[in-house]
Amino acid sequence: MEHPDSKALAALLLEALREVLSKDLGRDERRVDENSPLMGAEAVIDSYARILFLVKAEDCCREHGIPFSMQIDVDADSGEHPFRTVGALADYLAERAFRGVEQ
């Protein structure tokens, strides 16, 4: 996958998140979607699960030839952190891949 779109990336990220929730944590993963928050009080995962998710997401992306880095550039002025939702992370990664940013 040379330049993945955010929908394809969101599907991969959701697959990774659902696997962490169901297999690693024994929780119901059916309620997560692209709008599921990954940070904050309403997050569907805690800090431990976030680490598991990031490792699983990185593995899943690399299996599909998508560069993935846990190093995230955040624009402090915008307040738009890529980890706020699954969809936001997918958009961020797709944009970086499209621009050819080395990850």
Architecture of domain 6-99: Orthogonal Bundle (1.10)
Nearest to 73 by CA among 33, 42, 102: 102
For the chain, what are the domain ranges? Answer: 6-99
Tens digit of each residue's pLDDT (9 = 90 or more) over 22-58: 988 888 878 899 999 998 889 999 989 999 999 999 8
User: Taking a C-beta distance cutoff of 8 angstroms, is the pair 82, 58 a contact?
Assistant: no
pLDDT at 77: 53
More confident residue, 14 or 80: 14
Residue 94 host element (H or E) = helix 86-99
What's the confidence (pLDDT) of residue 33? 93
pLDDT, tens only, 51-98: 999 999 989 888 888 777 666 666 545 567 788 899 998 988 888 776
Amino acid at 47: S
Beta bridge partners of 37: 85
